Each structure stands twice: as C-alpha cells, then as structure tokens.
Amino acid sequence: MGSLSGANLAVSSSSVPASKPVALPARLAATYNPKTPTVRAYVRSGLEEPLESDQVSYDSCGIPVLQSKGQDMGTLVVDPAKDLVLVEELAGPAATLFNRHLAASKQWYPFEDVPWDSAADFAEEAWNASQYPLSQGVQSAIIVNVLTEDNLPYYTHTLMSPIKADHPLRQWSLRWTAEEWRHSAAIRDWILATRAIDPYRLEDDRMVQMSKGQVPQSASVAEMISYVSFQELATQVAHRNTGMALDKTKRGKKIMSKVAGDEGLHHAFYRDLVLAGLEIDPSTMVMAIQSELRNFKMPGTGIPGFDQHEVAIALAGIFGAQQFVEAVVKPTIEYWKIFEIEGLSDEAERAREKIAKNLAGLIRLAAAQQARIEALQAQGAL
C-alpha cells in the first residue's frame, strides 16, 4: 500500500466527481503524527489447535459449519477510553486511505450492464424458474448478496454512530454507502431483467429483513473496523465466486465482477486502517481482532432462511469454511503480521494465542467441511 505519511491529505480524483477529497479537521491536523503502514509479506503459522466445541454445529447433511456466538459480543473487550484515543489518532490514516480510495476507484453505472432487452412485464408474463435455470446454491448466493446490500441503511447507522461529525471516517462512510447502494441497484435490476430469482419472494424477504434491521454490532470502533476488514473481503470473494458460476451471455458475470472490485477496495481501506491501528495501539487492536474473529458471522443473519442459504452456498463451492479460511482469514491475519508484533500487554498476548487457536481450529473445520462435501458429491447426494 502507499505511504500514509504524506503532508497533503487531499488527493483529487477526476474519475469520481461525486466525492471531494478529505482533509483533516483543524482540531486534529495540528496533532496528527503520521504513521506509515507498509505492505506486509505473507507468513504462515503452523499452530494446530481445534476450535472450541460450541463454535461448531452440523447441518442436516452432516456438514460441519461455524456456529458464531452471535452478533452482539456482550462482554467488554476493548477499554472505551483507549478506543476513543485510538479513533482520534486514526483520523489521519483514515483521511489518507479515503483519498487513496477516491484515486483508485472507477466510476460505473449500475444500469449499463443490465440486459434490458431480456426484461418483460411480470403482469403479462409470470415468473417461473425455467426462464433462467440456476442451481440452488447459485440462487441462494444471489439472494443473500442482494439482500445484504439492501440492508444498507442499518450498516451505515452502525458505522457512523460512534464517530464524531468532523472525523474522516464519517466522510468515508457516506462514500461507502453510495457505492454499496450501487451494488444493490445493479444486482436487483439484473435479477428483474433476467428473471434469475422469483421477484415476489425476493421482495417479501427484503421486507422481512429490513423490518428487523439486524446487523453485526461491535462494542468498540476497534472491533468494528476489525470485523469489517474480514467481512468486506468475505463479501468480495462471495460476489466473485457467484459471478464465476454465471454465464457471460446474461452479463451477470460482468456485474458481479464490478461489485467484487468495489468490495476489494473497501476491504483495502479497512484492512489498512486496522494496520495503522496496530502501529498506534497494538494491544488494543489485537484484542479487538481476536474478539471479531472469534464471533464472526456474515451480515445476512436477518434474511429469511439464512442458515439454509448458507449451507447451499457452501455446497456450491461459492463461500464456505474453506473460502473463509483460505481467502479471507489467512491473508488478512498474515498481512497484519499478527504473530510478529512485539511489546503486547499480557492480555493482548493471551488474545494473540487465542487467534492462533481460532485460526488452527478454522483450518480443521474447513478440512472437515470440504471432506464431507466431497463425500456427498461422490455419493451423488449433491
């Protein structure tokens, strides 16, 4: 990644005129001490400890799945006073990373790649599954993808609530919201044009989910940015793999690729913000990371039938324990160089040991899940 130590935090971008570059508020600019997170080489841990038994459950096919303790962590992991200080010191890196995002992101329009020539009036031509036959796993992935994006207002509220009005994270959250809505619009219009999913069922599910307003809740900003670092990469992988399962002719592959590209940039923002936090207050951040890894759950739990969708998506090879471990957790933990940080507090050292155990347990869970899926495939049960 680029250096966060440049004096000019306002980088212009002609390709994204809707958002202006961000500068630090006056109250923070005078005391900003630039940090310079650098690109991290990947390292591997050879630790092999199982997950605790309450983290694993089994679906109706006997496939082991991760069982989170829930969205609300309940116990206080991060010292609130330290969290407040950390947030203030993250203002400079947040501004720099936001301006980097503006320079890197590409403007695209959600309606351009929708095959409108395939669209038809649902009142005149009723929907039926034969119009665009898709496997259950691919259907589930599309449903979860678009309904997760639809739940946007609640994510925005959660991200912005603990942040002061003049903090760069506020401006970032607004831009992030605008880009995530673009994903929802593109995927939904594509669904309606191609008739990939029953539109009545999709709308009924949207109403149920948004009436709940259920989203992951973290007890601190340190935990929140740790969670979103994992979640945004997980979302990118899920969108990318969904696109790979679609054909090119109806343009779903192209739309999912664009959405995944945005999600990759969102992940890079949060990943490098956490990296900056690790340089400012490594002990607080390590404890936050451990809390979120231990309790991680994708942000779709309010979707009707989410558990069944989750299993179908895993069976289709789109996103399951294997993808979570290999494409999300390992590269992110390795990028942060968690196991090479020095000078941690005793409590943070214990948290790091738990990260190692959680990671090793996830690896074992992924292997068990994959073995069960392959056995079912060999039996012709899938």
* Residue linked to tokens 């691919």: 138
Strands (E), 212-331: none
Q: Torsion-angle region of residue 184: left (phi > 0), alpha (psi -120 to 50) or beta?
A: alpha
d(CA 341, CA 241): 33
Tokens of 322: 């294997």
pLDDT computed for residue 198 by the predictor: 96
Q: Picking from 42-56, 125-139, 205-219, 292-306, which range would have the lowest pLDDT averaged per residue? A: 42-56
Centre a 10 Å sphere on the Cβ of residue 342 and count the other Cβ atoms it contains.
5
With a cut of 80, say whether residue 78 has pLDDT above it: yes
pLDDT higher at 58 or 110: 110
Residue 374's pLDDT band (boundaries 50, 70, 90)?
A: confident
pLDDT computed for residue 235 by the predictor: 95
Q: Where are the domains of the chain?
A: 56-378
pLDDT higher at 89 or 74: 89
CATH fold label, 56-378: Ribonucleotide Reductase, subunit A (1.10.620)
- The CA–CA distances, whole Å, from 78 to 199, 226, 351 equal 43, 12, 12
Backbone φ and ψ of 20, nearest 5°: -90, 150
The DSSP result for 270-286, as a single string, is HHHHHHHHHHH-HHHHH
With a cut of 70, say whether residue 30 has pLDDT above it: no
pLDDT computed for residue 22 by the predictor: 66
Residue 71's pLDDT band (boundaries 50, 70, 90)?
A: very low
Yes or no: say if 194 and 115 are a contact pair by the CB < 8 Å rule. yes
pLDDT computed for residue 44 by the predictor: 26
pLDDT higher at 71 or 121: 121
The DSSP bridge partners found for residue 66 are 56
pLDDT tens-digit readout, 32-41: 554 443 333 2
- The average pLDDT across 160-172 equals 90
d(CA 264, CA 269): 9
